[in-house]
Structure 1
Amino acid sequence: MAQGVCELLWIRRLLTELGFKLEKQMELHCDNKSANDIAHNSVQHDRTKHVEVDRHFIKEKIEKKIICQPFVKSEDQLANILTKAVCGRVFHDSLTKLGIGDIYAQT
C-alpha cells in the first residue's frame, strides 16, 4: 500500500505541474480488510511492528485528505484473475469487465 501511495503522490505532482487542478482525493482501492483497518487505526499493535513506518506514512496522507482508501470486495477486484485462483463465475465476469472476449466464438 505504501508503494501505491507513493505512485499516487507522483501522479498527483505530475498532474499539478502539467496545470491540472486536483480538487478530489485520489483513491487507493484495496481488497484487504486488515490492511485498511491498520491504515485507519491509530492504535499500534504488536502485529504491525514491521510496518510501522509505512503505516504512519499512509495514515498521514489519509488524514491530510490527499488519498482515500475505499474497500473493494475481492470478487470486484479485476487483478485477482491474474494473481489468485478464482471460481469460474468471477473469472468470466472479470473478463467481461476487461473487455476480453472469446476469440474462437462465432460472430
Structure 2
Amino acid sequence: MAQGVCKLLWLRRLLRDIEFGPQKSMDLYCDNKAAIAHNHVQHDRTKHVEVDRHFVKEMLDAGIISFPFISSEYRLADVLTKAVPTTVFLNSLDKLGMCDIFAPT
C-alpha cells in the first residue's frame, strides 16, 4: 500500500505540473484497508510495517488518498486466495475466462 501511495503522490505532482491537478482525493483500491490504515493496535511483530502504516494513515487523514469499498464480486483475486461463496466463485471464474475441463459437454 505504501508503494501504491507513493506512485499516486508522484502522479498527483505530475498532473499539477502540467496544470491538470486532481480536485479530489485519489482512490487506492486495496483489500486490507482495515489492517493497515485504520488498525490502531500495534504488535511487536509488526514494527517493520509501522513506518509504512503511519505514512499511509497520514495521507488518508490529509485527504490525499481514499480507500473506496470494493464488493467481493469485483475482487477477482479473492477466488484464488480465500474461500468465497459459490456464486462469487462461479462468476469470478467466468470473468477470468476459466472453464471446467471436466464438465460434461
- Indicate whether the TM-score tops 0.5: yes
How many pairs align? 91
Shift of the alpha carbon at 1:2?
A: 0.5
Identity of aligned residues (%): 54
The within-5 A match list for 1:2-81 is 2-32=2-32, 35-78=33-76, 80=77
Gaps of 5+ in 2: 98-105
What per-residue deviation string (whole Å, max 9, x for no partner) do you get for residues 65-100 of structure 1?
A: 00011232343124x28x9368442122355xxxxx
SS of alignment partner, residue 56 of structure 1: helix
Q: CA RMSD in A?
A: 2.6
Whether the aligned pair in 1 keeps the contact of 2:12 and 2:21 (CA below 8 Å) is: no
Whether the aligned pair in 1 keeps the contact of 2:37 and 2:57 (CA below 8 Å) is: yes
For 2:14, the aligned partner's letter is L
- Go from structure 1 to structure 2 and tell me whether the alpha carbon gap of 1:64 and 1:75 turns closer, same or farther (over 3 Å shift): same
**Distance in structure 2 (CA, Å) of the matches to 1:92 and 1:41:** 35
- TM-score normalised according to structure 1 size: 0.68
After the TM superposition, list the runs of 4 or more consecutive aligned residues in structure 1 that deviate by more than 6 angstroms. none
> In structure 2, what is the equivalent of residue 92 of structure 1?
94
What per-residue deviation string (whole Å, max 9, x for no partner) do you get for residues 20-65 of structure 1?
A: 1311100001123xx4343123343345322000000000000100
**Distance in structure 2 (CA, Å) of the matches to 1:42 and 1:91:** 36
- The 10-residue stretch of structure 1 (55-64 or 42-51) with the greater mean CA deviation from structure 2: 42-51
**Distance in structure 1 (CA, Å) of the matches to 2:70 and 2:56:** 18
- TM-score normalised according to structure 2 size: 0.69
**Distance in structure 1 (CA, Å) of the matches to 2:41 and 2:91:** 39
Gaps of 5+ in 1: 96-107
